[in-house]
């Protein structure tokens, strides 16, 4: 027997229509750095999205064509989020923190026909243009330096337009086509820390289902009474799905634009009074230092979602003391990105050590994501909280391949997908009997010493709990006797006095086995970061191999 239910496609267009009507008074507020932010209602954003769609159609953008964005988090970027997929084209968010060669590779590989760029980023786009023969139009939003504008206008084969002028005069309604929910809506590339960046095409259906999960109480659980400070970049995994989720439930959004430094973020929180925020741990470390040096009224911000890498327990406790309750989330570009959220079970007492232990995990799998652990021999391991293996996942918002092949490259490489179609995440960890995931390391970052594994993440978390340490990253380095041993690189706080022997004792007194303690240490000015704010251990390993680190043995 077939069902009697209507077959209504799950599309970004439906999220747009719902948001601009049912939640039309909710707002997108963009920080300007001035006395008054820019404020637009969802209804206004929807109307401007229609104007943008008309304008892009006038530039020759048709169904299936790719439109790139090189933009900060702001209302214009939200307009593109909805206009481009809803008209049947594909939105491609360009990661502005990638090196120029990777940016040009990605824009060329994706086939960007039009690129929308914020004026402050025009200088970043300019050197890419000679390598983008398929690019026809550049649309500049906001103020741009005269020199950069002149250089853009002089670029061969590219027509330059001003965003507001392009929208002006177009109707504020658009006859949105009825689309197949399985067609591509947006495109995001991995950060390329291993090999060339790989493209992941999110479908309308996957975005719709992912947005529903973001709004579940077991996930972020936000409503139209909330204001979310969306720090996580819109070029990174659709800003963790927050703009789409916001239009689905009316969540008000506070967009920081280019003002991502600790001081302006602290001012935004104090002035605009958000109730929720989302960003990677490095953002929160900087904000904590700012709030410690210059206390602010941040009392409204009671919920913080941290993902991208593990949040050090010391940082989580520090924000608890400020009234900001931190929740871990895990995911990746390939998972849209929501994979797990660390909401403790209702059976544990709030504020207890048991509850805190649950919050330190990466969290529970939602109904839309299945997870399993696979051992080195390909065996599936039990959910017993002890058996460690590589995490593999599958689900309706998990990619099953990568976009297009370059020179015949497979879109389903064997090192990324199992024979039965599960995504190999590259993360190593355990899963408890009640479904809580704890990641101990990346497979490429695990230190294999004398046949045993040492977790670099565990060492880093304990080191960063020391009052003299601002940042710490641990990598594996070759060792003649043991194969590999840990090298600890640390950033000292101003005026710090701890020595390496004291740091070894700090590790030992906090449960690290003696055989796991690093003998090799180096001081660095800053731990290098990837384009999405994670510790870039590939760079550290390279510096060690080149002899660029002053390593001390203790």
Domain CATH number, residue 487: 3.30.300.30
Question: Is 242 within the bounds of a domain?
Answer: no
Question: Which of 202, 225, 245 is the last residue in one of the domains?
Answer: 202
Q: Is the per-residue pLDDT at 92 higher than 50?
A: yes
Which letter does DSSP use for residue 514 in this model? G
CATH classification at residue 119:
3.40.50.12780
The per-residue pLDDT for 511 is 87
Query: If pLDDT is split at 50, 70 and 90, which confidence band does 405 have?
Result: low
Q: How far apart are the C-alpha atoms of 116 and 189, rounded to whole Å?
A: 17
- Summarize the confidence of residues 447-455 as an average pLDDT: 81
Question: Which of 202, 219, 245 is the last residue in one of the domains?
Answer: 202
Question: Is 345 within the bounds of a domain?
Answer: no
Report H helices in 168-277: 204-214, 237-240, 242-249, 262-272
Question: Is 540 within the bounds of a domain?
Answer: yes
| pLDDT, mean over the chain | 93
Residue 523's DSSP bridge partners are 490
Query: If pLDDT is split at 50, 70 and 90, which confidence band does 155 have?
Result: confident
Three-class SS of 453-493? EECHHHHHHHHCCCCCEEEEEEEEEEECCCEEEEEEEEEEC
Question: Which of 154, 186, 202 is the last residue in one of the domains?
Answer: 202
Min mean pLDDT across 67-76, 270-279, 411-420 is at 411-420
**Catalytic residue numbers?**
190, 334, 448, 453
* Alpha-carbon dihedral 250, 254, 257, 260, rounded to 10 degrees: -140
Question: Is 105 within the bounds of a domain?
Answer: yes
Question: Is 334 within the bounds of a domain?
Answer: no
Question: Is 196 within the bounds of a domain?
Answer: yes
| Those residues with Cβ within 8 angstroms of residue 224's Cβ, 6 or more apart along the chain or in another chain | 23, 26, 249, 250, 251, 252
Q: Is the per-residue pLDDT at 409 higher than 70?
A: no
Q: For residue 196, what are its two tokens?
A: 């060339």
Residue 515: Cβ within 10 Å count: 10
Domains contained in the chain, number: 2
338 three-class SS: strand
Q: Is the per-residue pLDDT at 236 higher than 60?
A: yes
Question: Is 66 within the bounds of a domain?
Answer: yes
- Domain containing 132 equals 8-26+37-202
Note the pTM of the prediction, 2 decimals.
0.88
Question: Is 43 within the bounds of a domain?
Answer: yes
Q: Is the per-residue pLDDT at 4 higher than 50?
A: yes
Phi-psi region of 351 (alpha: psi -120 to 50; beta: other; left: phi over 0): left
């Amino acid at each position: 027997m077939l069902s009697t239910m209507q077959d209504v496609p799950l599309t970004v267009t439906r999220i747009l229509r719902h948001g601009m009507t049912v939640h039309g008074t909710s707002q997108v507020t963009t920080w300007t750095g001035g006395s008054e932010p820019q404020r637009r209602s969802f209804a206004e954003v929807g109307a401007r999205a229609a104007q943008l769609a008309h304008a892009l159609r006038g530039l020759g953008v048709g169904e299936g064509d790719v439109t790139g964005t090189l933009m900060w988090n702001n209302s214009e970027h939200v307009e593109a989020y909805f206009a481009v997929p809803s008209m049947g084209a594909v939105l491609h968010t360009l990661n502005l923190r990638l090196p120029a060669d990777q940016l040009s590779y990605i824009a060329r590989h994706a086939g960007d026909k039009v690129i929308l760029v914020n004026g402050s980023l025009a200088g970043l786009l300019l050197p890419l243009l000679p390598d983008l023969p398929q690019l026809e139009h550049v649309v500049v939003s906001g103020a741009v330096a005269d020199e950069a504008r002149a250089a853009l206008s002089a670029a061969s084969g590219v027509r330059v337009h001003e965003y507001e002028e392009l929208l002006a005069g177009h109707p504020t309604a658009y006859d949105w086509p009825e689309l197949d929910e399985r067609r591509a809506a947006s495109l995001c590339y991995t950060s390329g820390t291993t090999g060339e960046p790989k493209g992941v095409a999110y479908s309308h259906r996957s975005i719709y289902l992912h947005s529903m999960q973001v709004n579940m109480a077991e996930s972020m659980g936000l409503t139209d009474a909330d204001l979310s400070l969306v720090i996580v970049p819109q070029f990174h995994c659709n800003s963790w799905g927050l703009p789409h989720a916001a239009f689905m439930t009316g969540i008000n959004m506070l967009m920081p634009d280019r003002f991502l430094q600790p001081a302006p973020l602290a001012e935004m929180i104090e002035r605009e009074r958000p109730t929720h925020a989302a960003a990677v741990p490095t953002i929160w470390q900087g904000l904590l230092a700012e709030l410690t040096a210059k206390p602010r009224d941040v009392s409204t911000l009671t919920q913080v979602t941290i993902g991208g890498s593990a949040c050090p327990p010391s940082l989580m406790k520090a924000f608890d003391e400020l009234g900001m309750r931190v929740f871990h989330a895990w995911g990746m570009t390939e998972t849209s990105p929501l994979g797990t959220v660390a909401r403790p079970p209702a059976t544990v007492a709030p504020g207890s050590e048991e509850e805190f232990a649950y919050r330190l995990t990466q969290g529970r799998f939602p109904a839309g994501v299945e997870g399993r652990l696979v051992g080195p021999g390909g065996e599936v391991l039990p959910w017993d909280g002890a058996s460690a293996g590589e995490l593999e996942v599958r689900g309706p918002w998990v990619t099953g391949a990568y976009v297009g092949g370059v020179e015949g490259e497979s879109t389903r490489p064997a090192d990324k997908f199992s024979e039965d179609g599960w995504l190999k995440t590259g993360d190593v960890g355990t899963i408890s009997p009640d479904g809580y995931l704890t990641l101990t390391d990346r497979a490429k970052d695990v230190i294999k010493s004398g046949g045993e594994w040492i977790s670099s993440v565990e060492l880093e978390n304990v080191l960063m709990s020391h009052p003299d340490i601002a940042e710490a990253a641990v990598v594996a380095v070759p060792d003649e006797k043991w194969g590999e041993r840990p090298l600890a690189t640390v950033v000292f706080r101003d005026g710090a006095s701890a020595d390496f022997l004291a740091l070894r004792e700090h590790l030992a007194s906090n449960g690290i086995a003696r055989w796991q303690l690093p003998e090799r240490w180096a001081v660095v000015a800053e731990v290098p970061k990837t384009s999405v704010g994670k510790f870039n251990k590939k760079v550290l390993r390279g510096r060690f191999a080149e002899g660029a680190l002053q390593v001390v043995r203790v």
